């Protein structure tokens, strides 16, 4: 691994070395939920070598067709870097969305759909903002949410919303209305009668109702559409929407030394009583070393699992 660092105007080359028995550990917790990840420590050392010239200086040595070919290759590499950065930004937004849902305990899933083939993303976001304001008014000023936007295969937009479990009734135009009907009535007042629905519990791939998602799985479900949709989203726009003032829990960082990859995984699996393992993932390669990710959540009330070892 190599990187270029500018020091006092000089471009210097640094080389990274993976430390096989040293680990950076990141732990994020909130509301009884935990995500733990670790990876090998990388030590960066100054090689003492001058880095290659900047692109502008490098291109001064070429003319004509050769210069055009090299410039085209450079622009292709730049676009690949931009794409990696877009993906990295979307991944960060996905993590933030997932943790807002967990930290706030947003345990109700709603899905807003269009019957018409409404493909304008900005218009969808405008409709959604109006819907949120009216839902908040109908529920007495209390409507905390976090949402992601998805484009269906036919091209139409729809919205996945995590919120607190809806009360039995809300107030619409001075009259009480069952909360499960409220979302659809308000949505249709914005986009047109019979033009869409608000599904409580969300929808499965085959159109049925999605029920009984744990909080961790609900958070993963809503946030995953940020990665699916990030190519479609303008770079400057938010990749998801949330209530104002919601904070993302910050991770704690630690370092462990003298342990193998297998010992680190064993250490990560020492879960507290009542913790349920939601998912975990292992990656390992010769360049960046080992990486591990573990997600746990509290055991649902009335459900008892065997201890995790």
The tens digit of pLDDT for each residue in 230-276 reads: 777 766 567 889 999 998 999 999 999 999 999 999 999 888 788 88
pLDDT the model gives residue 205: 60
pLDDT the model gives residue 130: 97
Confidence of residue 98 (pLDDT cuts 50, 70, 90): very high
pLDDT the model gives residue 300: 73
| Percent above pLDDT 90 for the chain | 46
pLDDT the model gives residue 56: 79
- The pLDDT mean for the chain works out to 86
Sign of CA dihedral 230, 236, 242, 248: positive
Percentages helix, strand, coil for the chain (3-state, rounded to 5) are 30, 35, 30
pLDDT the model gives residue 171: 79
Angle, helix 121-138 to helix 179-191, in steps of 10 degrees: 140
pLDDT the model gives residue 304: 45
What's the mean pLDDT in 133-146? 92
Reduced to 3 states, what is the DSSP secondary structure of residue 12?
A: strand
| pTM: predicted TM-score of the whole model, two decimal places | 0.83
Domains of the chain: 103-242 (3.30.70)
Confidence of residue 200 (pLDDT cuts 50, 70, 90): confident
User: Distance between CA atoms of 222 and 100, rounded to whole angstroms?
Assistant: 11
Rounded to the nearest 10°, the torsion over CA 236, 240, 244, 248 is -100
Any idea what DSSP says for residue 119?
Answer: -
Tokens of 117: 């083939």
Confidence of residue 203 (pLDDT cuts 50, 70, 90): low
pLDDT the model gives residue 284: 86
Reported in sequence order, the residue ranges of 152-307 that DSSP labels E, i.e. its strands, are 157-163, 169-172, 175-178, 196-200, 240-242, 252-257, 275-285, 289-298
Higher-pLDDT residue of 307, 74: 74
pLDDT the model gives residue 21: 94
The secondary structure element, H or E, covering residue 268 is helix 261-268
Do 226 and 242 form a contact (C-beta atoms < 8 A)?
no
């Amino acid at each position: 691994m190599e990187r270029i660092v500018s020091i006092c105007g000089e471009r210097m080359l640094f080389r990274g070395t993976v430390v096989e028995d040293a680990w950076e550990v990141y732990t994020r917790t909130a509301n009884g939920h935990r995500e733990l990840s670790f990876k090998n420590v990388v030590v960066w050392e100054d090689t003492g070598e001058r880095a290659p010239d900047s692109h502008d200086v490098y291109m001064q040595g070429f003319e004509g067709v050769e210069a055009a070919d090299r410039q085209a290759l450079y622009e292709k590499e730049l676009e690949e870097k931009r794409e990696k950065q877009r993906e990295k930004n979307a991944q960060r937004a996905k993590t933030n969305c997932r943790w807002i849902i967990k930290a706030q305990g947003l345990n109700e899933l709603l899905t807003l759909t269009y019957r018409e083939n409404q493909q304008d993303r900005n218009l969808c976001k405008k409709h959604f903002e109006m819907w949120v304001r009216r839902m908040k008014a109908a529920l007495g000023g209390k409507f905390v949410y976090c949402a992601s936007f998805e484009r269906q295969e036919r091209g139409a937009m729809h919205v996945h919303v995590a919120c607190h479990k809806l009360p039995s009734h809300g107030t619409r135009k001075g009259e009480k209305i069952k909360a499960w009907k409220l979302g659809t009535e308000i949505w249709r007042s914005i986009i047109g009668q019979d033009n869409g629905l608000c599904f409580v519990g969300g929808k499965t791939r085959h159109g049925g109702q999605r029920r009984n998602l744990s909080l961790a799985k609900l958070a993963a479900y809503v946030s995953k559409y940020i990665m699916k949709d990030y190519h479609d989203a303008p770079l400057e726009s938010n990749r998801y929407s949330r209530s104002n003032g919601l904070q993302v829990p910050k991770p704690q960082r630690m370092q462990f030394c003298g342990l193998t990859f297998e010992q680190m995984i064993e250490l990560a699996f020492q879960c507290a009583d009542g913790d349920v393992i939601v998912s975990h993932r292992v990656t390992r390669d010769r360049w960046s070393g080992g990486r591990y990710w573990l997600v746990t959540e509290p055991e649902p009330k009335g459900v008892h699992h065997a201890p995790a070892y």
